[in-house]
Amino acid sequence: MNFLSVGNPRRLLKLLIVVFTSLIIGLGLLTPANADTVGEEYDYAVLGNVKIEGVAVGGVRMVVEGSGYSAETLTSDDGSWLIGVPTKDVYSVTLDESTLPAGVVVLEGEPTQEVELGLSGRVVMNFFIGEGERNEVSFVDQFISRFIYGINFGLMLGLASVGLSLVFGTTGLSNFAHGEMVTFGAVAALVFGVFMQLPIWVAIPLAVIASAGMGWSLDAGLWKPLRKKGLGIVQLMIVSIGLSLTMRYIIQFFIGGGTEQLPGFDSPKISLFGAVALSSNDLYSMGISIAVIIGFAVWLIKTKTGKATRAISDNPDLAAASGIDVDKVIRIVWIVAAALAGLSGVLWAYFRPGIKWDMGTQILLLIFAAVTLGGLGTAFGALIGALIVGILVETSGMFIPSDLKYVGALVVLIGVLMFRPQGIMGRKQRIG
């Protein structure tokens, strides 16, 4: 099923990149003689190339208007067109959608767009076209679709956030290296699933186990000795920054600066209801997140270790005095936090999609935003905060440019600190 809805920004973006790249390549091969041209007597020109996924579309009507001048042409068989214009000015370019093949529309922006002639005297105007129904996805459908994406993103953000929150609660450390623990999980899945060619359902659990091992070794090798040494929390925080730099660049050292993909990253979409279509990856991801979060909640509420964890978060001295082995519990907290962060990294690698050495740094501030929003040190608060941040990030793309979608979440973070610094679930005495 080759249905492409606008309510699916990532897939759309991928297709657009393909279309756009093919347009650029097409332009490079274009010789002016092939182009269907009008107004060649003028010094300036607007030109372009109409292609759908690399296939040229001929006979599309293009209109250029502006400064009292108007001209139109049909694209030639190789999709190219050129319209000469008399002055260096702003013109509006229209692609007549009725002349496109059935079902093909301009996907991004309107079919009429403004161009300004630059220094070269020529300007390229290409439209992002493809099969789709630009106008048929209603605002509500788009919103619902993005809302569900937001829940998906929020759940994986939540997996990472509860870990950070637990670590903060039990040790007082704002762990800036938590983002790298997210990257580590994704990279471990890459190592097991791609480099070692294991089936993905083996590779992901192995990646989570490797992450847990990483959490264990970080606590055993670094954090526990530092606690024994009696470092202050600010010192520990700066150590975590050093650790974050170290881990980040070690990961770049091994996997390089490019983007890697896990197997099956572009699973087909399944249409659910209305215009909402999710891929099977999205559904698995949500299912895994929810199952793990429920398991985590049961662990935290019901088990002895979970209760001890919450006791230490409340009052470490009292917990130690009542016979809780604080170091042992903190060790478990690090293992759990790292495993959850690693899992969230794997899921996020499918969601983005792709694995990059600095992906953890990108998400770290959103994790902090989620944890602060929920209330520093409260595990369930972090979960709610993560859902809110996830939904906000995904839906805000409808109202603000998509490259600013993280800004919305960060502004909310600062806003929360202004009006309710203890967060949604936090208590006031924690803010100092």
Partner 1 sequence: MDWGTIINNTLAGLLTPTTIAFALAALGLAMHFGFAGLLNFGIAGFMAIGAYGYAISVLTFGLPWWLGMIIGVLGSIAFAVLLGVPTLRLRGDYLAIVTIAAAEIARLLFLTTAFTDVTGSADGLFGYNSAGGFSSANPFPPGSYGFGPWTYNSETLWVLTFGLGVLALCIWLLWALMRSPWGRVIKGIREDEDAVRALGKNVFAYKMQALIIGGVFGGLGGIVYAAFANVSPGVYVTSITFFIWTALLLGGAATIFGPVIGSVIFWVLQAFLSNILPELAINGILPVDGTQAATLRFVLVGIGLMLLVIYRPQGIFGDKREMTFVK
Choose which of 18, 56, 124, 241 interacts with partner 1 (CB under 8 A): 241
Please enumerate in sequence order all residues whose Cβ is within 8 A of that of 378, keeping only pairs 6 or more positions apart, or say none.
165, 169, 423, 425, 426
Supply the minimum distance, in Å, between the C-beta of residue 74 and partner 1: 31
Contacts to partner 1 from residues 320-359, by CB under 8 A? none
Supply the minimum distance, in Å, between the C-beta of residue 109 and partner 1: 13
Whether the upstream peptide bond of residue 401 has omega within 30° of 0, thus cis, is: no
Q: CA angle 381-382-388, nearest 5°?
A: 90
* 365 lines the binding site for partner 1 (CB under 8 A): yes
* 13 lines the binding site for partner 1 (CB under 8 A): no
Choose which of 239, 276, 384, 389 interacts with partner 1 (CB under 8 A): 239
131-139, 239-247, 267-275, 297-305 -> range binding partner 1 (CB under 8 A): 239-247
Nearer CB in complex with partner 1: 57/239: 239
102-107 contacts: CB < 8 A, separation 24 or more? 103/131, 103/132, 104/52, 104/57, 104/129, 104/130, 104/131, 104/132, 105/129, 105/130, 105/132, 105/133, 105/134, 105/135, 106/134, 107/4, 107/6, 107/12, 107/15, 107/16, 107/132, 107/134
Q: Is the dihedral of CA 358, 360, 362, 365 positive or negative?
A: negative
Number of residues that bind partner 1 (CB under 8 A): 45
Choose which of 228, 229, 302, 304 interacts with partner 1 (CB under 8 A): 229
* 102 lines the binding site for partner 1 (CB under 8 A): no
Supply the minimum distance, in Å, between the C-beta of residue 402 and partner 1: 9
Choose which of 41, 119, 228, 230 interacts with partner 1 (CB under 8 A): 230
Taking residue 154's Cβ as centre, other Cβ atoms within 10 Å add up to 27
Choose which of 250, 272, 301, 318 interacts with partner 1 (CB under 8 A): 250
Amino acid type, 217: S
What distance in Å separates the CA atoms of residue 333 and residue 262, rounded to the nearest whole number?
28
What distance in Å separates the CA atoms of residue 73 and residue 135, rounded to the nearest whole number?
26
Structure tokens belonging to residue 82: 């050129």
Q: Using alpha carbons, select from 315, 207, 318, 267 the residue that is nearest to residue 8.
A: 267
97-105, 252-260, 311-319, 328-336 -> range binding partner 1 (CB under 8 A): 252-260
Nearer CB in complex with partner 1: 306/426: 426
Q: Using alpha carbons, select from 124, 129, 130 the residue that is nearest to residue 48.
A: 124
What distance in Å separates the CA atoms of residue 266 and residue 270, rounded to the nearest whole number?
12
* 226 lines the binding site for partner 1 (CB under 8 A): yes
* 258 lines the binding site for partner 1 (CB under 8 A): no
* 418 lines the binding site for partner 1 (CB under 8 A): yes
What distance in Å separates the CA atoms of residue 426 and residue 373, rounded to the nearest whole number?
9
User: What SS3 state is found at 51?
Assistant: strand
Contacts to partner 1 from residues 38-67, by CB under 8 A? none
* 85 lines the binding site for partner 1 (CB under 8 A): no
* 228 lines the binding site for partner 1 (CB under 8 A): no
What distance in Å separates the CA atoms of residue 418 and residue 414, rounded to the nearest whole number?
6
What distance in Å separates the CA atoms of residue 324 and residue 13, rounded to the nearest whole number?
52
Supply the minimum distance, in Å, between the C-beta of residue 372 and partner 1: 6
Choose which of 106, 167, 207, 247 interacts with partner 1 (CB under 8 A): 247
* 92 lines the binding site for partner 1 (CB under 8 A): no
* 16 lines the binding site for partner 1 (CB under 8 A): no
Supply the minimum distance, in Å, between the C-beta of residue 234 and partner 1: 4
| Contact between 186 and 355 (Cβ < 8 Å) | yes
* 252 lines the binding site for partner 1 (CB under 8 A): yes
Nearer CB in complex with partner 1: 206/226: 226
* Interface contacts to partner 1, rule CB under 8 A: 174, 226, 229-235, 237-239, 241-250, 252-253, 256-257, 361, 365, 368-369, 372, 401, 403-404, 406-407, 410-411, 413-414, 417-418, 421, 431-432
